[in-house]
Amino acid sequence: MAAPIDLCCWPTPNSWKVTIALEEMGLPYTVRLVDIGAGDQFATDALAISPNNRAPAIVDPEGPDGPPVSVFKSGAIALCLARKTLRLLVATERDRIAVAQPLMWQTGGVGAMAGQAHHVIRHAPALDPPQELPATQDRDRREVGRLDRVLNGQLAEARCAAGDVPVGGGFRHPALGAGPGTAGADPGRQADPRPLAGRHEGNARRRHGNGRGG
Ligand SMILES: N[C@@H](CCC(=O)N[C@@H](CS)C(=O)NCC(=O)O)C(=O)O
């Protein structure tokens, strides 16, 4: 039985990616809440694990060469856990290339932009006094819309959709690819530009790890 992984997290989509991955891979873990609203991420012990002062991060007491190892950034954590367990990995270099793309796309594109859009479209206008930045709102709305359309196109080809691709097919899995995503970033959105996402999310929720970890 593997020693439990120490998960430093807060209930946000970036941390859910890791709880989903841990559940999918059947790894035991303990949860250490890092209250990012209270500034826990800047505490010395938190920075030692996550120098980026963000959640999630993990400490695996059984590192690859024996001693404990800490990992920050959700995408890096997912890759490390997959290599540790040999779960959700793919066999060929062609498939690994197919896996790297949605993983990097999600963490570098969706994760970053949806957070910014949420701030400028939802959070800032609700401040007292309200902060309205129309040009920035338009830019972020366009970029999130673009990402939504890319996601929809990929789902149409079933290239990263849970349920459409066997888990043995590897990282084309919501825990590790296009996971907790762009929905909800823009309350003013007229029509959902990713109509296939509902089916994808339904398939994802029926999976064990998503039900327990998401
Ligand atoms: N790219 C990072 C993003 C992590 C991130 O942005 N975490 C947010 C919560 S969703 C956070 O800890 N924010 C605290 C802060 O900004 O001080 C990842 O994928 O792990």
What residues form DSSP beta bridges with 137? none
Binding site membership of 107 for ligand 1 (Cβ less than 6 Å): yes
Binding site membership of 12 for ligand 1 (Cβ less than 6 Å): yes
Task: Select from 68, 85, 102 the last residue of a domain.
Answer: 85
- Mean of per-residue pLDDT scores for the chain: 81
Question: What's the CATH code of the domain at 62?
Answer: 3.40.30.10
Predicted confidence at residue 150, as pLDDT, reads 84
Q: Which of 117, 41, 26 is nearest to 72 (CA)?
A: 41
| 116 lies in the same domain as 46 | no
Task: Select from 85, 114, 141 the last residue of a domain.
Answer: 85
Q: Which of 53, 54, 80, 107 has most ligand 1 atoms within 8 Å of its beta carbon, as the pocket-test mutant?
A: 54
CA distances from 47 to 3, 41, 59, 72, 121 (A): 23, 7, 12, 10, 30
| 100 lies in the same domain as 201 | yes
Cα separation, 172 vs 168, whole angstroms? 9
Q: 198-208 burial by CB neighbour count: b if 16+ within 10 A, else e? A: eebbebbeebe
| 72 lies in the same domain as 121 | no
Range of the domain at 145: 93-213
Ligand 1 atom nearest the C-alpha of 42 is 17
| 149 lies in the same domain as 191 | yes
**Over pLDDT 70: what percentage of the chain?**
73
| 127 lies in the same domain as 209 | yes
Number of domains in the chain: 2
Cα separation, 55 vs 53, whole angstroms? 7
Residue identifier of the C-alpha nearest atom 13 of ligand 1: 54
Q: Which of 177, 176, 178, 194 is nearest to 186 (CA)?
A: 194
Give the distance (Å) from ligand 1 centre to CA of residue 102.
19
Question: What's the CATH code of the domain at 113?
Answer: 1.20.1050
CA distances from 26 to 99, 118, 171 (A): 21, 32, 16
pLDDT in tens, the chain (214 residues): 789 999 999 998 889 889 988 988 899 999 999 999 999 999 999 999 999 999 999 999 999 999 999 999 998 998 899 889 888 777 778 777 777 888 888 888 888 898 899 999 999 999 999 999 999 999 999 998 898 888 888 777 765 444 443 333 333 444 444 444 444 555 555 566 666 666 666 666 666 566 676 6
pTM over 0.75: yes
